[in-house]
Structure 1
Amino acid sequence: MAIETRLAPRTALFLPASNPRAIEKARGLPVDLVILDLEDAVKPTDKDAARTAAASAIREGLGGKPVAVRINAPGTPDCGPDMVLLRETPADFVVVPKVETARAALDVHSVMLKPVLAMIETPSGVLAAHEIAAAQMVHGLIAGTNDLRAELRIPPAADRSGLALALQTIVLAARAGGAWALDGVFNALGDSQALGEECRAGRAMGFDGKTLIHPNQIDIAAEAFAPSEAEREEARALIEAASGGAERFRDRMIEEMHVAQARALLARA
């Protein structure tokens, strides 16, 4: 369940914790959240060095940006060492892979004492997303679209239509639990047009922002998930015009719900 005073990130960039140049570059990037990755992005032989580098980077700071660390999945040999070394760091969040129960997130939180961003990457995780998002220590859900594709046996080249139910379930669970909902990564690094289209589709589905795997994706995702100037103007005009109760505004009916929605949009902008 998210802390209401913290706005969800529009952009969350995964970085290999084993890559010092990437970490140094991240300090100057206009990204909302940096996620230092100890899992998929790190070779097995580099795990020890990566967790040490992550702890050092977190203590030094990432240019004032919030920072999360993705530990290795619970039950794997590297998960325990990750938690032990990183629990004393000032990381803002811990990203937990392949969460399938609220208990799995609670177990990590009980060791690290940090808000959890739970990755929903399996069919079991999708079906349990409601209870996971509702857990007090869970601050957000992240759609693990690559793993979901594999688990659901969706061909790699297929569009996201086969993921639609899973993605919408993640958003529904996050909203019911008061948690963030972050969309999954986009793999085609050279296709900026398709990235923009996927970001806009994700926002239309209700996601707060998108997880990214390359700095070149930041500006595109940030723009797609930010309210447009037209949306901001509409929101300001609606708030100014509203006088309470159901009433007509620009040839449509509005009520207090729409005013609250407009205020939230301006706060996010």
Structure 2
Amino acid sequence: MQLAYARSLLFLPASNPRAVEKARGLDCDMVILDLEDAVPDAQKDDARTAAAAAHYPGKLTGIRINMEGTPWHGVDMVAAKQSAADYVILPKVESAQQVHDVTSVTEKPVIAMIESARGLIAASAIAAQAGTAALFVGVNDLRKDMGIAADAGRIGLMLALQTVVLAARASGKAVFDGVYNRLDDGEGLAAECREGRAFGFDGKTLIHPNQIAVTNSLFGPDAQALADARRLIAAATGGAERFEGSMIEAMHVDAARALIERADALGI
């Protein structure tokens, strides 16, 4: 599967053997084995070993390494290089050079996490770096760095979220929305998925398996959208023309074909 087709990208602590094994049977499009925030310092070594050994046939896989400047950054990169992971997730990226340095060591594409004001300012350069495969928004750290209260919703993050989407799109890279913290609030998660999709995100990063179904549903093409796309393609004859009360042209046909292609890739 292409990374841009991914809807649900699940973080799980690589220090938790049960979670690592359970992920094999989950419907998430990408498994992210976390060596950073979810893992206590005393368990970093065991988590690294487990992440390097993990393999998920049929799923995209990433390893989130510890940030530059920590004692684990170098050994995490070596483990990521030796692993079967498709991507390295790099936290708190604030320059394109950081991505270059990690790709040079790991020889794997990097998903850069934008988690600070400095990262936002540099987002365009980070996205344009050859080794960058996609951008993630780290909403929790971003809130903290920007002085936005945790209970303030996302209104203070609107510009930041759109900035990351714009940076990614300008370089033709995939881009994914941040995590939703309230695990028992399905309605809130659904609302945030709809908002993220309206902003232009390809999918959403998750922190619990119970968030997968809602996210897949709301970020994936639905039956009505696919039916509309197929009718549009069948009706189009070239140039600007009327279709079911709207004007369409080549760009609408291209978008309809892309939607069907994504659905086929996802098995929908």
Q: TM-score range by the shorter chain?
A: over 0.9
**One of 16, 19, 31 as aligned partner of 1:19:** 16
Cross-structure match for 1:83: 77
Q: How far off is 1:88 after superposition? A: 1.6
- 1:123 and 1:170 mapped to 2: Cα distance? 11
Deviation beyond 4 Å, 4+ runs, structure 1: none
The aligned length equals 263
- 2:258 and 2:16 mapped to 1: Cα distance? 37
Cross-structure match for 1:46: 43
**Amino acid paired to 1:17:** A
Cross-structure match for 2:235: 241
Q: How far off is 1:63 after superposition? A: 4.3
**One of 104, 107, 110 as aligned partner of 2:101:** 107
TM-score, normalization: structure 1? Answer: 0.95
- 1:86 and 1:247 mapped to 2: Cα distance? 51
**Amino acid paired to 2:125:** E
**One of 175, 184, 193 as aligned partner of 2:187:** 193
Q: How far off is 1:89 after superposition? A: 1.6
- 1:218 and 1:208 mapped to 2: Cα distance? 14
Cross-structure match for 1:164: 158
Cross-structure match for 2:56: 62
Identity of aligned residues (%): 56
Cα–Cα, structure 1 residues 5 and 193, in superposed 2: closer, same or farther, change >3 Å?
closer
Q: How far off is 1:122 after superposition? A: 0.5
CA deviation vs aligned residue, 1:15-56 (integer Å, no higher than 9, x gap): 000000001100000110000000000001111111011112
Q: How far off is 1:85 after superposition? A: 2.3
**One of 148, 151, 165 as aligned partner of 1:154:** 148
Gaps of 5+ in 2: 264-268
Partner secondary structure for residue 67 of structure 2: coil
Gaps of 5+ in 1: none
